[in-house]
Amino acid sequence: MSGQESDSPKNKVLVGLPFDTPVVDIEINPYVNVAPKKSSISVPQHTFTYSWYRKQISFHCSIHPDKLATLQCNVCVKLKLPVEESYYCSRCCFINAWKKHKVSHDQVNGTDRTANGQAGGELRSSGPWHCKDWTKVEWVKVGSSKSYKPTSDDYGSILKLEVVAVDCSTSAQLSPIAVVLENPVINAPTREPRRIIKCSLSGGNFDTKCHSKKDATFSVLSYNVLAAVFASRERYSYCPTWALVWEYRRQKLLNEIIEYDADIICLQEVQSDHFESFFEPELTKRGYSVMYKKKTQLLYTANKYVSDGCATFYRSKLFKVIMKHEVEFEKLAENLVNALPPHLREKYSVRLAKGNVAHIAVLETLDNERFRGVLQSRICVANTHIHANTDSPDVKLFQVVGLVNVLEEIVQSHIPLLICTDLNSPPLSDPHRFIVSGRCNLVDNEIKEHLELLHYLKIHHSLPLASAYASFPVLAGDEKRLQFMDTKAKEPLFTNFTKNFAGTLDYIFYTENSLRVEGLLELLDCERLGPGLPSSVWPSDHIALMARFGLKPPPARVGQRSPRSPLNSWVKTGARQ
């Protein structure tokens, strides 16, 4: 934070900015407070007045010093002639002065390089050439609100904020003007767009907004967007301060999400207040309906309690929700603990009591051009963020097992299923193996220390789940694509990339018997990302994953049942090792 205190015999105004390098189109929200210099003096009820200014440098005409310049002779600049002689108030002024003006050009060049001695010097609009005697500096007022969003007109200029505390009753000024200056305004860095890689024998790319007209297809985006409460300067010291603040990252996130143009969007680590004030209104007005489930545990920050959670968006013109189900792993833990012997209850009632959640929705396709005539009309989408602590692999497995058990009850092996997740577990770990193989082999030694718990979990399932990125096409001799993949695990080399860790934690799982992977969002390499994420180009410490799926005809089944709320699935089954 940058800021400056006013000097007053009674009061002082504190003004701080979240960053000192403003960016075009990124709103600046200052922190403002007033306090008495002596604790014995109270501050009357007050408000603030704000004035934003842009530093503007004007240049005087070399012929008419009382007029501002509008043109500059570019040849003078190239020849490094005295800058004060290069400014003119108008084209007519320049033409009239040309005969005398071109003499200085000839003296440097040794010859007259202009045709027929006519005014042939290059002209340009007067620019930022500083000369004390020939420039005029003024502050132009550009805003009077608390916040200010720099425009392209501000690019390269210095901004100044002036704040005054005013008595609400008398309108009297309570303090001197507090002034804050910022660095010159910059433009946000741009990035190369990520493309969808077509999953076929021939490979190839196609546009993310291109949908197949032959088959019913839809796209799914999964993205951990990094809640602002976790985006600390200490944790991400390599990221510029101005690129780490929420006002900057939220716009980058929105632009990226819109660019992918997914039909279903699953976001993790969505801060509760930012969901209400930003994600929900921004995506709703772009044609999405929304579901949100926040974690059951709160964090205190900025004088308020917040939480993060999972947000699922889907195109209103393509789908409607026919069933919702929320999973609070803390409640699932209570069910499990009640089934444990008394000597284990106290230990696991504390160990498993985490605030993580999952949101499940069964979507039904609407009768539109995309899905008209399809035989399979329902899709179950689960969105979850699993517990992150690396010292709790048993908790991670418990949550994953609990979620899959619930999903197995809902989809009953005949509804296409998608699980979008920050699993917080690497490929081939116990949670990952359990999802894709239906069994738990206990490869993590720390989990083996909790066999007493696992004896009470249903650690097998019959869902034909696979990871979408295991379908990533690696063609013979395509070393570029190969370097992005862990060929043993058949997963990306990383989806989370920071200074201290690079690895895969994020996945899109799907049921192979009912869905077909048709395309995947291309992966990124370390060189493209710099020292770590987030950065001025990439707004989260995770990268987005996206897959395009085709609906397969529904499998033959007998005695189909309608989706219903899941039963308590905690039964003593015996752990498989």
Give per-residue pLDDT as tens, 40-58. Answer: 678 889 999 999 999 988 8
Mapping DSSP onto H, E and C, the string for 216-273 reads CEEEEEEEECCCHHHCCCCCCCCCCHHHHCHHHHHHHHHHHHHHHCCCEEEEEEEEHH
pLDDT score of 172? 92
pLDDT computed for residue 251 by the predictor:
96
Question: Taking 80 as the threshold, does the pLDDT of residue 560 lie above it?
Answer: no
Number of Cβ within a 10 Å radius of residue 232: 10
Name the residue with higher pLDDT: 5 or 274: 274
How many CB atoms sit inside 10 A of residue 283's CB? 19
Task: Say what the alpha-carbon torsion angle 208, 212, 216, 222 is, to the nearest 10 degrees.
Answer: -10
Which residue has tokens 């949100």? 292
Q: What is the pLDDT of residue 131?
A: 38
Closest CA to 539 of 165, 353, 274, 281: 274
Question: How many helices, marked H, and strands, marked E, lie in the chain?
Answer: 15, 30
Among 319-328, 485-494, 554-563, the range of highest mean pLDDT: 319-328
- Assign domain 209-551 one CATH number from 3.30.1330.90, 3.20.20.10, 3.60.10.10, 3.40.50.970: 3.60.10.10
> Mean of the pLDDT values across residues 328-336?
96
Please name the helix (run of DSSP H) or strand (run of DSSP E) that holds residue 91, with its range, or none.
helix 91-96
Query: How far apart are the C-alpha atoms of 229 and 307, rounded to whole Å?
Result: 9
| pLDDT computed for residue 17 by the predictor | 93
**Average pLDDT of the segment spanning 169-178:** 92
In this structure, are residues 125 and 3 in contact, taking their beta carbons and an 8 Å threshold? no
Contacts of 486 (CB under 8 A, 6+ apart): 427, 492, 493, 504
- Average of per-residue pLDDT across 490-519: 96
- Alpha carbon distance 218, 313 (integer Å): 13
Question: In the prediction, which pLDDT does 479 show?
Answer: 64
pLDDT tops 70 at residue 126? no
Q: What are the φ/ψ torsions at residue 259 (nearest 5 degrees)? A: -60, -40
Look at the domain 2-58+132-181 and name its fold. Immunoglobulin-like (2.60.40)
pLDDT of res. 130: 38
pLDDT tens figures, 382-404: 999 999 999 999 999 999 999 99
Greatest Cα pair distance in the chain: 105
Q: Are strands 319-328 and 502-503 parallel, antiparallel or unpaired?
A: unpaired
Burial of 295 (0-12, 13-18, 19+ CB in 10 A): buried
Mean per-residue pLDDT, 200-207: 46
Peptide bond into 30 cis (omega under 30): no
24 pLDDT tier (thresholds 50, 70, 90): very high
Model confidence at 206: pLDDT above 70: no
**Helix H or strand E segment including 51:** strand 46-59
Q: Is the pLDDT of residue 2 over 50?
A: no
C-alpha span between 239 and 162 (Å, rounded): 28
pLDDT at site 200: 62
Distance from C-alpha of 63 to C-alpha of 268, rounded to nearest angstrom: 64
Coil/strand/helix, residue 313? strand
Summary mean pLDDT of the chain: 86
| Mean pLDDT of all residues in 198-205 | 56
Q: Residue ranges per domain, the chain?
A: 2-58+132-181, 70-125, 209-551
Share of the chain above pLDDT 70, in %: 85
Mean pLDDT, residues 145-157? 94
Q: So what's the pLDDT on residue 104?
A: 84
Q: What is the pLDDT of residue 135?
A: 66
State yes or no: pLDDT of 155 exceeds 80: yes
Provide mean pLDDT across the span 500-522: 96
Residue 513 is classified by DSSP as: T
Above 80 in pLDDT, residue 166? yes
* Number of Cα atoms under 13 Å in the Cβ half of residue 302: 9
pLDDT in tens, 407-451: 999 998 789 999 999 999 999 999 999 999 999 888 777 788 888
- 433's enclosing H/E stretch is helix 430-437
pLDDT for 412 equals 87
Q: How many percent of the chain have pLDDT more than 90?
A: 63
Most confidently modeled range among 111-120, 333-342, 469-478: 333-342
Average of per-residue pLDDT across 480-493:
86
Which band of pLDDT confidence, cut at 50, 70 and 90, is reported for residue 132? very low
